[in-house]
Every structure is written in structure tokens, then in C-alpha cells.
Structure 1
């Protein structure tokens, strides 16, 4: 893992980066919780997501959004933070040699930014949205959602309750062939205290299932073209 300073829209962006292990390896971008609630790239869940993707052969990058840690700029109500995310995604893509898959994962505020980023970046193949704060932010901008992904929340989460997430998703449409899966982690609050391993296990199962399905599809297409 390398420490990076990326020249961003508002000055430097502090990041941590693991290079793709081989040419064409998939890549993933990790987005942290709300800066005004102490969210940084050193958040335990952000680190665990990073390590999960790294374990499965991804090039991975996590970073501090503007005004956090050594990243320059000021908090910008999500507008500038989305600009940072798009900029950093460009950066990691430029560091990679034709990545096979592009994923994005975010926790809390980072999940909200992740879902917005999907709508602007058609190259994103999959996403993990951990506890998007559905009681604070409208998700109807996912119209239609252009990629398949997983939305997870704890069944004891007061910020992203299962009821709020389900209510928000009633307004969401999905492009043909794509699917948003929903699941909850039993006994988990918004911070997944004593449930973080369960959370990552849920995310890992989904990731591996998606990767296996994508590889099988490529295999079938290759056989049909022979």
C-alpha cells in the first residue's frame, strides 16, 4: 500500500493506494463517511472494504475528501465531494491498464456519494452502498440506476433504517439487466459495532458472486465466438 498525494480540484487529495496485481486487474474506489461526523479514509469500515477488495485481486484506492486530513479545500455539502470522487476515479483509472471491472464502495455519506457517482460514470460495473443515510437524502436520482449493486444496512440502524431505505428505493428504477439487491445485518447499528465482520462477510459474498457470474458470462461469450 502506497501513500499518495493527488492534485485535485481544490488542491491536494490525500490517498492510500494498492496497485493492481496484474495488467487488466479490476479496480475499486472506497468512499468514507461524513466529514462533519469525523469520517475519514481511516474509518474502520472503509479500511475493511479496502482490504476486502485488495484480498480479491483488485487495485484499490481510498482517500480523504476535501478538508479532511491532509486534503485541501472545505466541506461542500456533497457537491464538491462528488467532484472529488469523479476526479479520483479518473486518477485510479489512469493508473490502471484497462481494468476488467470497475467497482465503487461507500459507507454512510460515502454510500450516498457512491450512488450519485454511478449516475455519472457508466464504466462502473458494480457497487456496495453501506448504510446510505436514506432519512437525510433522497435516492430518487437513481432513475434509472445504471449498474447492479448491493445496499446494506443494519436492522438496528437509526440513521439508515431498513424502513427508510425501502421507502427510498420505491422511487428508484433500474436499467434493464441490472439489479439492486438489498440486505440487512442482524443486530447492527449505523456503526456496525460488534457486527463489522458480519458486514464484510455479506459484502464479500456478494462481490464473489458477481465476479463469478461475470467470468462465466465471458467464458460463454468466448465459446460462442469460436
Structure 2
């Protein structure tokens, strides 16, 4: 794979720009959110289900990316296969995970000294979970991982997610009334390893009325991985 350089250079502080990466299936479109000062870490924020119109511009990855940017992270929002200008077609999380690993490898090749945060929402949380598992198995875990609305097993839309077990320090956040990725299967999945789950009472898959709570939880978790200002 031919990977271009420049993912962490020529920044537009406080702004969002678009760039690309050569991935396993071709071009990967990236939205990049640069902090006002020198980056203190690198973060990747992944988006919800492409089959339902999910993209990096969905309000939850958008808001998470901007909040992390404001905390000093240089944030990347990759478009999954077939979304925006990204090549390929939907691959049930397998190809999307391979693309995410390619992005991480490219970022680490350019800025190995900066901590890496992996943040995912909905289908993006599933892709990030697969990626976090692969990195942990390789002894190269991100500095922090936070997953919101993680789907497990069969979901009401007749899709199935074979969600792997995860390192104990991965933050899981879920809405109590999530209808798209119900809470009960996640708790069944978490029970054998006693993986903690932060349940936000009374909110749904999209954290309606509780988006600021979600953002605050992710920011606090990610902040622990940042070097001193």
C-alpha cells in the first residue's frame, strides 16, 4: 500500500479540512479538525451505519470531533467505504476495520510520540472495537478508546455484530432506552468479563437530550491520555 505523508502537517488551526489516504480498498476520505495550538494527541472519531446514511458529518461524530479538537487533539474523521469520496463498498465492519488500521499505521509513522485516542459511535463503535481488539492483540493499544452505542449480536434492523471482548480500560457509554442497539445484549456481552458500562438514564441511541453528557464523558476519558499542557 502506498501511503502519502502529510497527514499531520500543513494544518489549518481551528478549522476542518479534507484530505485522503490510500487504503486497502483505495482512497479513504478524511475530515481533519486541527486544534488552535500544537497538537497534544491524535484522535480518530468514527461514524454511524453507512447503510442508514451515516457519515463523518453526522452530528455526533461532528460534535465529538470538535470537542476533542478544543482539548488539543488533532482529530480525523474517516469516511467508511462507499461514503463520500471513499472507495469501495460496505463490508460489514471487516474492511472498515482494515482501513482504520491503515490510518492508524500512517498516523503513527508520522507522529509516533503523540498519544492516540480511538472514539466510535454506533456502527463506528463496532469498527473501533474490532480495531482496538486487533491493536491490543498486537501489543499496540491506543492510549484511550471510548465507544458509544456499541451494537452487539442481533439488532432490530436484522443486522448482526460479532463484537469482540475488549481491554478493561475501554470506555463504553450507552443510552438506557437505545432501540437501535439495545442495552440488554450489551450487558449480556459485558457480564462474563465484568466490563463496566456507563448507562445514561432515559436517553436513546442518539443520546437525545444527553449529548452534552456523552461529550463530557468522552472528553474526560480522553484527557487522561494527554501529556501535561
Alignment TM-score, normalising by the size of structure 1: 0.81
Aligned residues: 202
- 1:17-28 correspondence runs (5 A): 17-19=32-34, 21-22=37-38, 25-28=40-43
Q: Secondary structure at the match of 2:205?
A: coil
Aligned equivalents of 1:11, 1:159: Cα separation in 2: 30
Q: Is the 8 A contact 1:135 1:159 kept in 2?
A: no
- 1:133-152 correspondence runs (5 A): 133-136=151-154, 137-139=161-163, 141-142=164-165, 145-146=166-167, 148-152=169-173
Deviations 1:144-198 (A, max 9, x none): x34612101111112333322111112447xxxxxx5421122211122232122
Question: How far off its partner does 1:22 sit?
Answer: 2.9
Structure 2 residue 190 is the aligned partner of structure 1 residue 169: yes
- 1:27-176 correspondence runs (5 A): 27-96=42-111, 98-99=113-114, 101-121=115-135, 122-136=140-154, 137-139=161-163, 141-142=164-165, 145-146=166-167, 148-172=169-193
Match of 1:199 in 2: 214
Deviations 1:82-104 (A, max 9, x none): 111111112222342521x2110
Deviations 1:10-42 (A, max 9, x none): 12111111357437x211111111111111101
Q: Is the 8 A contact 1:125 1:148 kept in 2?
A: no
Aligned equivalents of 2:193, 2:79: Cα separation in 1: 29
User: Are the structure 2 counterparts of residues 153 and 146 from structure 1 closer, same or farther at C-alpha, using a change threshold of 3 Å?
Assistant: closer
Q: Secondary structure at the match of 1:156?
A: coil
Aligned equivalents of 2:117, 2:98: Cα separation in 1: 17
Q: Which runs of 5+ in 2 are unaligned?
A: 1-15, 155-160
Match of 2:31 in 1: 16
Aligned equivalents of 1:53, 1:153: Cα separation in 2: 19
Deviations 1:112-140 (A, max 9, x none): 1111111222231211100101243233x
Q: Is the 8 A contact 2:33 2:66 kept in 1?
A: no
Question: How far off its partner does 1:3 sit?
Answer: 1.0
Aligned equivalents of 2:19, 2:112: Cα separation in 1: 18
Q: Which runs of 5+ in 1 are unaligned?
A: 174-179, 216-226
